[in-house]
Amino acid sequence: MDGNVLLALGLTLFAGLATGIGSALAFFTSRTNTKFLAWSLGFSAGVMIYVSMIEIFVKAKDSLVSEQGETTGYWMTVIGFFAGMAVIALIDKFIPTAGNPHEIKTVEEFHKEPTQEDLERLKKMGIFTALAIAIHNFPEGIATFASAIQDPSLGIAIAIAVAIHNIPEGIAVAVPLYFATGNRKKAFKWSFLSGLSEPVGAIVAWLILMPYLTDTMFGIIFAAVAGIMVFISLDELLPAAQKYDQTHLAIYGVVSGMIVMALSLLLLM
């Protein structure tokens, strides 16, 4: 197996299994550290926005312009960017809030007594929730894999960004599943396993998409990935960070994420 392929698959596995960290935090802490949550969500958004706009979008444009010419290539980059936003927006639109793993939950929700109606509703949502997680994480796995194949340093950056945003997602998955089953181990298992849809996406990309990953296809994928990551940052991470914000911690997290991402990209050059 090619070294780049092995690295790409490993990075998607690392990013996907970060949901297990989130579920572990939910079970082994008694309170949500809202200061840390606000900062870390902002940090994740800063990482995603910086790497998307400064690195991924530019790489997409350069690739498409070199293959398709300046005007056509630039148009394809812009269309791909907003198409990525449209895809993730549609996914979120058709997944109700109750089953959407991008809806941030807090540890304190474990201490609420669910009513019988809550239990019935959450049991019915169990299978749908698992499907929702897979739908959200599958394209992230393809994106991380494709990025790492084309540029390993960029793949590492994207994997870190995805892993950070998967930690609160793991909390969001574990909380409703625990309510539905009353079983911490089962909730942790499903939260942990939900992240496996990302390496599955990478495996699908490796086995099926690899022959079609031309420079033009890479450019389109990169443009769409940039759009997806910016949308997630603006629609999910920043509003959630603001919800738990105290004394501008969220924006400090954003700036910190951008600085760390900028330095890591410089060091990996």
- Alpha-carbon distance of 246 to 234, in angstroms, equals 19
- Residue 198 assigned as binding residue: yes
What lies within 8 Å, CB to CB, of 230 at 6+ separation is 48, 49, 52, 53, 85
Q: Which residues fall within 8 angstroms of residue 131, CB to CB, at 6 or more apart?
A: none
Structure-block tokens of residue 156 = 């590492």
Report the 3 state secondary structure along 46-97: HHHHHHHHHHHHHHHHHHHHHHHCHHHHHHHHHHHHHHHHHHHHHHHHCCCH
- Known binding residue 102? Answer is no
According to the annotation, is 113 in a ligand binding site?
no
Give, rounded to a whole angstrom, the gap between the first and last alpha carbons of the chain: 25
Annotated binding site for Fe(2+): 137, 140, 166, 169, 198
Question: Which segments are annotated as binding site?
Answer: 137, 140, 165-166, 169, 198
Binding-site residue positions for Zn(2+):
140, 165, 169
